[in-house]
């Protein structure tokens, strides 16, 4: 009888230890799961189109933004948009734009931004993979046709690779905002162009604090860092 009790006791001990080990492994796997930080991008600009003539310059951005938009560290559902900015000699004329993308047309009146000093038009559209956009602009009585061409080349790194580069070099920051439940923040990722292409990568925590990086969009080198 005593031997049976001893065997039963040992059996229960083994079962208990096996259960504990299984729970430990499950917990460890959950904590060490791979996070796809691109899922936390709440603002993305991944293509820029440029056109100009002697008096006018046009920039068109392919963007994907959360709605409602808020830099609060909480990513929300995103929507694709096309944003056009037209710089003109003056800002006192009615301006209409029509954009042709493949077989689709988008058009509307442009609003003048007194602060930025240019005309603005935006509409829902996904133009991330386009190479050029044909644009018809009516500025007062003047009409013109412009072809906006993408700045992307074979040397431009993707937004995904840009984010991975920052994630690798600034692993401590990402680690401080990551736990077994995921990433406690949101990410802004914008393609820029001033003579050369750059990426702006902003990491925003739940308190609204932002750590931003400026990166060369061809070499992947981080050029500057700023905290706000």
- Give the per-residue pLDDT at 121: 98
**Residue 17: pLDDT over 70:** no
Identify whether 30 is part of a domain. no
**pTM as predicted:** 0.83
Q: Which of 150, 179, 205 is the last residue of a domain?
A: 150
On whether both 103 and 130 belong to a single domain, the answer is yes
Q: Exposure pattern of 43-63 as b/e (b: 16+ CB <10 Å)? A: bbbbbbbebeeeebebbbbbb
Can you tell me the distance from the alpha carbon of 96 to that of 188, in angstroms, rounded to the nearest whole number? 30
On whether both 125 and 194 belong to a single domain, the answer is no
Identify whether 39 is part of a domain. no
How confident is the model over 178-190, as pLDDT tens digits?
A: 998 899 999 999 9
**Residue 216: pLDDT over 80:** yes
Residue where the block lists tokens 């990166």: 215
**Residue 18: pLDDT over 50:** no
On whether both 138 and 71 belong to a single domain, the answer is yes
Q: Which of 150, 166, 188 is the last residue of a domain?
A: 150
**Residue 25: pLDDT over 60:** no
- Give the per-residue pLDDT at 48: 98
Q: What is the domain-level CATH number for residue 197? A: 3.10.450.40
Q: Which of 130, 150, 170 is the last residue of a domain?
A: 150
On whether both 122 and 179 belong to a single domain, the answer is no
**Residue 182 belongs to domain spanning:** 154-227
Task: Say how many domains are in the chain.
Answer: 2
- Give the per-residue pLDDT at 34: 82
On whether both 146 and 158 belong to a single domain, the answer is no
Identify whether 54 is part of a domain. yes
- Give the per-residue pLDDT at 10: 52
On whether both 140 and 191 belong to a single domain, the answer is no
Identify whether 209 is part of a domain. yes
On whether both 160 and 123 belong to a single domain, the answer is no
- Give the per-residue pLDDT at 33: 57
- Give the per-residue pLDDT at 12: 44
On whether both 76 and 132 belong to a single domain, the answer is yes
Predicted confidence band of residue 113 (pLDDT cuts 50, 70, 90) = very high
Identify whether 10 is part of a domain. no
User: Out of 10-24, 35-49, 98-112, which region has the weakest mean confidence (pLDDT)?
Assistant: 10-24
């Amino acid at each position: 009888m005593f031997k049976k009790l001893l065997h039963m006791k040992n059996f229960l001990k083994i079962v208990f230890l096996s259960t504990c080990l299984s729970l430990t492994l499950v917990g460890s796997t959950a904590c060490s799961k791979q996070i796809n930080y691109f899922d936390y991008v709440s603002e993305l600009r991944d293509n820029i189109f440029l056109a100009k003539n002697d008096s006018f310059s046009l920039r068109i951005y392919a963007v994907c933004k959360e709605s409602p938009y808020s830099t609060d560290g909480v990513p929300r559902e995103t929507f694709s948009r096309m944003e056009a900015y037209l710089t003109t000699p003056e800002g006192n004329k009615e301006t209409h734009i029509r954009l042709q993308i493949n077989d689709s047309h988008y058009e509307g009146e442009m609003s003048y931004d007194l602060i930025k000093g240019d005309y603005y038009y935006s509409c829902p559209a996904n133009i991330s993979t386009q190479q050029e956009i044909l644009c018809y602009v009516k500025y007062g009585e003047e009409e013109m046709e412009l072809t906006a061409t993408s700045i992307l080349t074979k040397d431009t790194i993707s937004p995904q690779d840009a984010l991975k580069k920052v994630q690798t070099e600034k692993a401590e920051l990402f680690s401080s905002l990551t736990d077994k439940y995921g990433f406690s923040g949101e990410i802004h990722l914008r393609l820029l162009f001033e003579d050369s292409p750059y990426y702006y990568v902003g990491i925003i925590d739940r308190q609204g604090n932002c750590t931003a990086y400026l990166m060369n969009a061809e070499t992947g080198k981080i050029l500057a860092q700023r905290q706000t």
